[in-house]
Structure 1
Amino acid sequence: MTRSARPLALALGLGALLLPAIASAQALVVCTEASPDFLNPQFSSQNTAYDVAAQVYERLTATQRGGSQIIPSLAEAWTISDDALSYTFKLRKGVKWHASKSFTPTREFNADDVLFSFNRMLDPNHPYAKVGSGNFQFFGEIVKPSLKAVEKVDDYTVRIVLTKPNAPLLSALSVEPMSILSAEYAAAMSKAGTPEQIDFAPIGTGPFSLLSYQKDAVIRFKAVPDHWTKAAGDRDRMALVNDLIFVITPDASVRFAKVRSGECQIARYPNPGDLAAMKTEPTINVLQGSIADQSFLAFNQQKKPFGDKRVREALAYATNIPAIIDAVYQGTGKPTASAVPPSLWSHDADLKPRPYDPDKAKALLKEAGYPDGFETTLWAIPVVRAYMPNGRRAAELIQADWARIGVKATIQTFEWGEYLKRGRAGEHEVGMFGYTWDYPDPSQILLTGWTCEGVATGANRARWCNKEASDALAKASTITDQAERSKLYKRFQEIFHEDVAGLLFANAQAFTPVRKEVKDYKIHFFGGQPFVGVSIGK
């Protein structure tokens, strides 16, 4: 059982949660695809956790809803030193913490909370460093390598001091793993002998508080009546419904059926095969837009025979990617050979996917010493994602392709949280994985998923370590000239493609069916999906 699987004490039965809420015009019901792997986003790299955190927590900075601009949040302003090694943040006053049956805050948000949240992840001797997962993956990959210290200047001013410039820092601070937690709540739970409660029963400053969570069933949130955005008059960041309910519905077709019947008002990650039907529904608007994504097969190079480039390249030639895109993405994806998607700067459009060529694949396998093929396991992603609409179907097509060159692949899958946990541990031989960028800078997914350092943390699912590639990524994050950074990212993409670091599937379009009574919902492409600024009307 993952940490997020522990139900809160407030959890109710599914029927008790849904019936009064759906009857209310002030409830927004969202059909979503899976349970979060963690309720504390500091431990996660997955949108299922980020979607929850986007409602409950806030960060120093934020990404504009539905856009890519970095805007103030818990920090209302900041200055950067000339050498780019010091960031000074002026914190927002009047920000209140949520309360629960086990905790009532006695003060508002201040600098102590920022120091607690950062130092828990930075200092291995911190009292909370080993509470919970202990694996602060996003922080460890993106922020920690350049972070020297977080200093309290006064109650409403903090300074982040770096050892080297970190060009995407302000963007990185907007992502859910950098959420600010309550130092007072942590102290109270530690005193009570239940420190883990800060991770199982979140207390944040966000526009919604979390009321209850029933694993694989429902998550219920309540609007915070005195959230700071109301005093600021920031309607786009206010909770405009009283209740927000996530109905966890793994089957994409069932999610569509529920939004069509009115049981849900928004359905996340729909099946591309339902797109035509959605567009004919008179009660539904279909929203669509480009996302920054990466979907791939990870060949675990720490397991034979995948450390041999000839084997990886053979399997790339043996996989009919255009056929997979036709059958699985159904008009919502385009083939790619570039590790940076076209929606982000530094995308290398000159790289082309390897063509489907079984004869060349057989020749490469023979050269590598496998003239008759070999046996392996192929993990199929168990949930619908924008970057992979149907993992099982994609795995079946790959299985059939590989059988033609003598490679027998047995398809395996697990519950989503277990799949992620086992993937981090490197249990797979060949695994289907993917990412969506959480902030508008190429560095994030590349630094998280494709460096030598990521092999040790488990973030690098392919266990691919190429020093030149890792060095290019590291250098790109320490310089501010975007043209020079772009050259380094393009060099990384060339190495990635040449070495078959992973087999890329497609760059996808996201689309979401939304009932017409829902007003001003915007697909959010970076980080978790916020449901602020959304109302319900005729």
Structure 2
Amino acid sequence: MSALSRLLLASVTILLLAGCEDPFSDNSARNRGFIYCGPGQPNTFNPQLTDGGLTADALSSQIFDRLLQLDPDTYQPIPMLAQSWQVSEDGKEYTFDLRRSATFQVTEWFIPHRGVSAQDVVFSFKRLIDPEHPYHEVSGGEYPWFDSMDFESLIDDVVAIGDYKVKFILSRPDVSFLSSLATTYAVVHSSEYAQHLLSSGTPERIDTHPVGSGAFFLDDYQPHRYIRLKRHWGYWNGAAPMEQIAYDISNRGTGTFTKLITRECDVLSSPIASQLSVIKKNPDFVLASQTGMNVAFLALNTRHPALSELEVRQAISLAINRDTLIQSVYYGTGTAATGMLPPMSWAYDEQNAIAFDPQLALGLMAKAGYRHGFTVDLLVPLTPKSYNPSPRKAAELIQSNLAMIGITVNLVAQEDINRKQLRQDPADLDMVLTGWIADNGDPDNFLRPLLSCNAKFTGWNLSNWCNRYFDRYLDAAIATDVREDRRELYLNAQAILQERMPIIPLAHGVHYQARNAKLQGITLSPFGDKSFANVSRSQ
């Protein structure tokens, strides 16, 4: 167990509030809110410390606000805490004007004395980029998403210009910067609360006892049972219709699908493909879908003796039957991937094509000196995701496909990927069945965190692959704001991936969500995040 996990669990006795009723013991949550069922356990309530999961996908957007958010239709950055912004001619300075009406939440552990200001923005981002910052090393000092995007070298400084104006000074132009500030990771914390904790000698509580400016605040947490959020009455965009949200994170009794059918849950985060027909036939439920900005792929460790051979990597791609994968794993709802970017991306390469040709694959294996094959381990994270609704089944199909060209695949199953462990022992992996859900609509968000040279050191580049020409195309693409020029640069970068194949793209999934028909105002995002600020229940 990580130090952060131990810290969070040790804090539970403090966090549990006297007199709080179990939201599942009666109809209290349903009468005044709703119950959300989804996989995962939080190991922190600060999304800055995570690389996804429950905290970033379902909790962050409720508890915290960001400077910007993404427009649900255009996927472009629009105001949130920042009501306007200006960019310097050289593209290296971004100045944001903050709204005056945003307030921090009142919780059992802190009562704020002022609203959101420029100092809060400075604190939130200086913690990430300044090794000398008093909070930088708190809770482990690792910020996976920001590290993968190389934020520390991108941002030279963050300075307050008055109470409600803040400036970011970049070391280089980056037209994807605004989109990065709109992700669920780029949250704004209270610097007043941080100073209070520092003076009390308990700075780690900022990550276990959050204080944000979002529509809901953390009220109660019982590990492996539930998380309860309560309405923030002072929310700048108007108080939410619902008084509370209860997250069922338990393994009690039946599975999440059965809980939906028996009305123990109002919302089921990600039903698997085999459950969709049952939900569709029941008039008490609404099944919503959203084409996802995601991709499932097979990461090949390019430091492995056999997988370092280009012909072997090409053979693996040719041996995988993606049509069977789509039918058996996605039940026809997904799309076979021809590259890392999904078809809805403006930089998608429609010229890419990946064939299924086992005979050609056998020839390439022989050419590489592996006529008699070899044995590899395939790490399979078992938690279903929108990009891969049934990882074990997908792994078994890949195992069967590769056996036909002489590759023996041993499946190594675990609940999810431990990227910290992978950073320590990256060479121990042969292949990983994984995927990615984009945090914003910029193509850079697909390519840089997973395949850049810098990402080798963050545990996200699971292929241990580094290509300087690939990186140069990415860097050039974020240095210009001309869309057509950017697209051409991304096409060149994708051509390198197609040629070198450090990863094998498999499929793009559809994100599904089932809910009680009486709930209104729940929307889906292609980026996996969701806000419940406008959810209401009809009678």
Same fold at TM > 0.5: yes
- Residue pair 2:291, 2:509 contacting (<8 A) in 1 also: yes
Name the residue aligned to 1:148. 156
Hey, what's the Cα distance between the residues in 2 that align with 1:242 and 1:81? Answer: 43
Distance of aligned partners of 1:302 and 1:125 in 2 relative to their CA distance in 1, 3 Å threshold: farther
Higher alpha-carbon deviation: 391-400 or 64-73: 64-73
**In the alignment, which residue of structure 2 is the partner of 1:517?**
518
Q: Give yes or no for the alignment of 1:372 onto 2:355.
A: no
* Higher deviation after alignment, 81-90 or 60-69: 60-69
1:93 and 2:94 aligned: no
Partner of 1:385: 385
Distance 1:384 1:519, change over 3 A: same
Question: Offset at 1:367?
Answer: 2.4
Q: How many angstroms apart in 2 are the aligned matches of 1:345 and 1:265?
A: 35
**CA 352–81 in structure 1, closer or farther in 2 if over 3 Å, else same:** same
- Tell me which residue corresponds to 2:88: 81
Q: Is the Cα contact below 8 Å between 1:21 and 1:243 reproduced in 2?
A: no
From 56, 66, 69, the equivalent of 2:63 is 56
Structure 1: gaps spanning 5 or more residues: 231-237
CA contact (8 A) 2:345 2:441 kept: yes
Query: Residue 514 of structure 1: SS of its match in structure 2?
Result: strand
Q: Alpha-carbon deviation of 1:29?
A: 0.9
Q: Name the CA distance, whole Å, in 1 between partners of 2:423 and 2:47.
A: 16
Q: Secondary structure at the match of 1:228?
A: coil
Give yes or no for contact 2:20–2:220 (8 Å, CA) kept in 1: no
Secondary structure (helix, strand or coil) at the match of 1:435 reads strand
Whole-Å Cα distance in 2 between the matches of residues 219 and 341 of structure 1? 34
Q: In 2 relative to 1, CA 222–10 (structure 1 residues): closer, same or farther, beyond 3 Å?
A: same
How many residue pairs get aligned? The number is: 528
Deviation at 1:22, TM superposition (A): 5.2
- The equivalent residue for 2:410 is 410
Q: Does 1:39 align with 2:45?
A: yes
Q: Please say if 1:10 is aligned against 2:15.
A: yes
Q: AA paired with 1:248?
A: I
Q: How does 1:186-205 map to 2 (within 5 A)?
A: 186-205=194-213
Q: CA deviation at 1:30?
A: 0.9
CA distance in 1, matches of 2:15, 2:202: 17
Q: Sort the Cα spacing of 1:160 and 1:409 in 2 relative to 1 into closer, same or farther, 3 A.
A: same
Partner of 1:221: 229
Is this contact kept in 1: 2:302–2:502, CA < 8 A? no
Q: C-alpha offsets along residues 360-401 of structure 1, whole Å, 9 cap, x if unaligned?
A: 223222222222222211111211111000001111111122
Offset of residue 66 of structure 1: 6.8
State the partner residue of 1:184: 192
Q: Say if 1:367 and 1:216 are closer, same or farther in 2 by CA, change over 3 A.
A: farther
Give the match for residue 472 of structure 1.
473
Contact persistence 1:424–1:458 (CA under 8 A): yes
Unpaired runs of 5+ residues, structure 2, are none
Amino acid aligned to 2:334: G
SS at match of 1:96: coil
Any idea what SS the aligned residue of 2:361 has?
A: helix
Name the Cα RMSD after superposition.
Answer: 2.2
Q: 2:136 aligns with which of 109, 129, 143?
A: 129
Deviates more, 1:14-23 or 1:220-229: 14-23
Give a deviation string over 1:237-277, Cα, whole Å, max 9, x none. x52211111112689x9322222221111111111111111
Name the structure 2 match of 1:352.
353
Q: What is the deviation of 1:471?
A: 0.9
Match of 1:282 in 2: 283
Local SS of the residue matching 1:229: coil
Using the size of structure 2 for normalisation, the TM-score is: 0.93
Secondary structure of residue in 2 paired with 1:498: helix
- Aligned CA distance change for structure 1 residues 434 and 41 (closer, same or farther; 3 Å): same
The question of whether the paired residues in 2 share the 8 Å contact of 1:66 and 1:524 is answered with: no
Distance 2:404 2:440 in 1: 41
Structure 1 residue 441 corresponds to structure 2 residue 442: yes
Matched with 2:493 is 492
| Counterpart-to-counterpart distance in 2, 1:15 and 1:333 | 42
The answer on whether the counterparts of 2:301 and 2:502 sit within 8 Å (CA) in structure 1 is no
Q: What is the CA–CA distance in structure 2 between the aligned matches of 1:527 and 1:74, rounded to whole Å?
A: 21
Q: Distance in 2 between matches of 1:40 and 1:114?
A: 15
Q: Tell me how far 1:483 sits from its aligned partner.
A: 0.3
- Name the structure 2 match of 1:102: 109
Query: How far is the alpha carbon of 1:60 from its aligned partner?
Result: 0.7
What TM-score comes out, normalization by structure 1 length? 0.93
Q: Secondary structure at the match of 1:18?
A: coil
Q: Deviations over 1:62-118 (max 9, x none)?
A: 123576242211111111222222111111223222233333222222111111111
Write out per-residue CA displacement over residues 388-422 of structure 1, whole angstroms, 9 at most, x where no aligned residue: 00001111111122222222211112233x54443
SS of residue matched to 2:160 = strand
Q: What is the aligned counterpart of 1:28 among 23, 34, 38?
A: 34
Distance 1:250 1:413 in 2: 19
Contact kept in structure 1, 2:295 and 2:337, CA below 8 Å: no
Distance in 2 (CA, whole Å) between partners of 1:161 and 1:139 is 16
- Change in CA separation of 1:79 and 1:229 when aligned onto 2, cut-off 3 Å: same
Closer, same or farther: CA 86–228 of 1 in aligned 2, 3 Å: same
Report the identity percentage.
29
Q: Does the 8 A contact of 1:44 with 1:136 survive in 2?
A: yes
Q: Tell me the distance in 1 between the aligned counterparts of 2:481 and 2:39.
A: 38
Distance 1:419 1:140 in 2: 16
Distance 1:484 1:120 in 2: 34
Find out whether 1:118 has 2:125 as its counterpart: yes
